[in-house]
Amino acid sequence: MKPAGSDGGGERRLRTTVVAVPSDGDDACIAEARHVAAAFLGRARAEGGVAVSARAVDVTQLVVSELVTNARRYAPGPLWMELRIADDVVEVTVQDGSRVQPVAHLTDPGRVGRHGLEIVVAVAQAFRVRLEPSGKRVTATVALGHGSADGTRRAGSPPPGPR
């Protein structure tokens, strides 16, 4: 998985990288996507002076893993992952070829599996889905600071619901 593009830009607090996620083969690309996310945040910290907490790296890797896994499981064709830092957040966007809107299940500790989107909605500051003619873009926003998730949502973030 190689960055398809990277914008160092003139603004110190804005960094973007886009990577292609292979749609064939085994699930090793999911682990690789997590590594790409950690390396991206590490570069933002080391080269850009962006304050990135260890918690932010962990949560971002979790979000990347769940979003890429869902896209590989439920969407045909190639996938793209975009990581973008703006101000005090990192936006993780996964674009795929399915126009089916994903919906988080209601919390059910007895359910085995299918908790991925539920987890993303719980740990992200914001979650949104944008349908496009060729598929959809799923974006989760993660705070870069040391604070813990407080359960609040920004405008446009749907609550969990039945799938």
79-to-13, 72, 118, 161 alpha-carbon distances in Å:
26, 8, 21, 25
Q: Can you tell me the distance from the alpha carbon of 57 to that of 5, in angstroms, rounded to the nearest whole number?
A: 21
Name the one residue in this structure whose structure tokens are 């398809």.
Answer: 4
Q: What is the pLDDT of residue 150?
A: 38
User: pTM for the full model?
Assistant: 0.78
Residue 23, pLDDT > 70, answer: no
Residue 137, pLDDT > 70, answer: yes
Residue 93, pLDDT > 50, answer: yes
Residue 148, pLDDT > 60, answer: no
Residue 9, pLDDT > 70, answer: no
pLDDT tens per residue, range 52-80: 999 999 999 999 999 999 998 888 888 89
Query: CB of 68 within 8 A of CB of 92?
Result: no
Q: What is the pLDDT of residue 114?
A: 67
Q: What is the pLDDT of residue 115?
A: 75
What percentage of the chain reaches a pLDDT higher than 90?
A: 49
Using DSSP's 3-state secondary structure scheme, residue 85 falls into strand
Name the one residue in this structure whose structure tokens are 């996620």.
Answer: 21
